[in-house]
Amino acid sequence: MTYQNLTSEIKENILYVTINREKSLNALNRDTLNELADVVVFANENNEVKGVIVTGAGEKAFVAGADIKEFSDYNAKQGEELARKGQEHVFNAIENSSKPFIAAINGFALGGGLELAMACHIRIAADNAKMGLPEVSLGLIPGYGGTQRLTQLVGKGKAIELITTAGMIDAIEAEKIGLVNHTVPLADLMSKAKEILDLIKQRAPLAIAAAIKSVNASVNAKEGYETEIKSFGKCFNTADFKEGVSAFLEKRKPIFDGK
Ligand code: CAA
């Protein structure tokens, strides 16, 4: 498989996927999402693959979010479509994959980046990781399932605090609240992820798939995801969104009017 925005290789039955847009801190643009969607299909269909490790290129970022530059002039309809398509083909597809996905978080995991990590079945954070859902500082909300999966992982109170303050937490705090499974030194990140998949690899594949399906069924809240998609789209028609994105691109603080 050759991709423009990802690297992927199979070693010892593990598919290693690296988001490879280091200059943009591995932000998820449309092409990267399309390639990720392909990789999920490939992982599901390929018998050699027993599990997947997803990480980001470089040492600064796992993924710093959806690509803000790409959606800066979107309207509500385009915003809604972005969220719906992304959720269906990438984030839900990962969560519903019969193969276990581990996110190896090697730096910033923000917005769509944290949402990608949360769609994976297990999260390992390096000690330099910083996590958050900062969309409200752009006049947006998370659109790739973040309002739902963060709430499932850490509970409603912590989720609302993290989302509404646009705060960033480090790996230790993330482990404390249940957002990540383990925190390790950056140098040990990939070996820790591999260690877990090496255990899973020895178990019965059909039982693994059934376990993932059953655990997912315990937190299936379709209405929540639909509310998020529609609300995310509506944000694109606000003056606050225009201000938030302009401020990001101009590297200044936004001034919001609530309009
Ligand atoms: N989209 C597009 N480009 C991004 C990006 C993103 N999400 N995050 C970083 N970049 C780009 C920057 O624009 C910059 O590009 P230039 O060199 O061309 O200026 C480059 O990556 C390096 O970033 P910074 O100079 O900003 O690096 P920093 O060390 O000063 O700051 C950071 C790092 C705190 C992660 C900062 O880049 C940042 O805040 N990024 C945006 C995080 C964010 O808001 N993510 C949510 C996106 S919206 C979303 O994800 C919606 C959704 O749920 C669907």
pLDDT digits (tens, 9 = 90+) for 140-190: 999 999 999 999 999 999 999 999 999 999 999 999 999 999 999 999 999
Please give the distance of CA 59 from its chain centroid, rounded to a whole number: 17
- 107 CB under 6 A from ligand 1? no
SS3 (DSSP) at 47: coil
In angstroms, what is the span from residue 17 Cα to ligand 1's centroid? 21
Cα 163 to ligand 1 centroid, rounded to whole Å: 17
Between the CA of residue 223 and those of 30, 33, 185, what are the distances in Å? 25, 24, 38
pLDDT 10s digits, 19-56: 999 999 999 999 999 999 999 999 999 999 999 999 99
Atom 37, ligand 1: which residue's CA is nearest?
A: 64
- CA of residue 148 to ligand 1 center, whole Å: 23
- Alpha helical stretches, state H, the chain: 30-45, 68-71, 76-86, 92-95, 112-119, 146-154, 156-165, 171-176, 189-201, 205-218, 222-235, 239-249
Q: Is the CB of 66 under 6 A from ligand 1?
A: yes
Convert the pLDDT of each residue in 191-230 to its tens digit: 999 999 999 999 999 999 999 999 999 987 789 999 999 9
Q: Residue 217 carries which side chain, given as an amino acid letter? A: A
Please give the Cα distance from 130 to 174 (Å, whole number).
9
Q: What residue's CA is closest to ligand 1, atom 39?
A: 64
Angstrom distances, CA of residue 204 to CA of 34, 45, 123, 175 = 30, 17, 22, 28
Nearest protein CA to atom 10 of ligand 1, as residue: 24
Residue ID of nearest Cα to ligand 1 atom 30: 251
DSSP letter for 137, please: G
Asked whether 118 lines ligand 1 (CB < 6 A), one says: no
**How much is the pTM?**
0.98
Ligand 1 pocket check: which of 68, 72, 135 to mutate, most ligand atoms within 8 Å of Cβ?
68
* 249 CA to centre of ligand 1 in angstroms: 9
d(CA 118, CA 122): 8
Question: Residue 143: CB within 6 Å of ligand 1?
Answer: yes
Per residue in 117-127, pLDDT (tens digit) is 999 999 999 99
Active site residues: 115, 135
Query: Which phi-psi region, left, alpha or beta, contains residue 219 (left: φ > 0; alpha: ψ -120 to 50)?
Result: alpha
Beta carbons of 258 and 240 less than 8 angstroms apart: yes
